[in-house]
Amino acid sequence: MIVVIQRASEASVKIEGEIKSEIGTGLMILLGIEEADTVEDISWLSKKIINLRIFPDENEVMNKSLLDVNGEILLISQFTLHASTKKGNRPSYIKAAKPDIAIPMYEKMIATLEAELGKAIGTGEFGADMKVSLVNDGPVTIVIDSKNKV
């Protein structure tokens, strides 16, 4: 499982011209799910995301977590994070999980993040053509792969 985490002062996602979700201060997260991912990946990543100290304290040092700043989350499923570009110029998405695996994993990640955060999070819609807007605060962008946790 791969996540691209962007610290945001605001973010939103539109589907067919209508805002599906929007957040203020928090994290806009792109989530890539692959066939080999498990609930352990979800558990580890959600704890890492919620406790990641990337918000500034009173001295402007990145020392506060999402919980510390009462931040929000916008979670967007994005299979293209698992693109393989080693061969040729057309990306291959063979590692990306098929919908029968990815949708339940995405829903489990939503539920886990909501439980960890203690409130509802914003989401996109799996498989939809989405328009994501973001004001990246900092900018701060971090990529985490659950397969590299050791």
Quote the CA–CA distance of 41 and 108 in Å, as a whole number.
Answer: 11
Quote the CA–CA distance of 4 and 127 in Å, as a whole number.
Answer: 18
Residues that are catalytic: 80
For tokens 């698992």, name the residue.
82
How far, in whole angstroms, is CA 65 from its chain's centroid? 15
* Assigned token pair, 98: 């098929």
- Name the residue among 30, 14, 44, 9 with its Cα closest to residue 147: 44
| Angle, helix 99-117 to helix 39-51, in steps of 10 degrees | 40
Beta strands in the chain (DSSP E): 2-15, 18-23, 26-32, 55-56, 62-64, 72-77, 122-123, 130-145
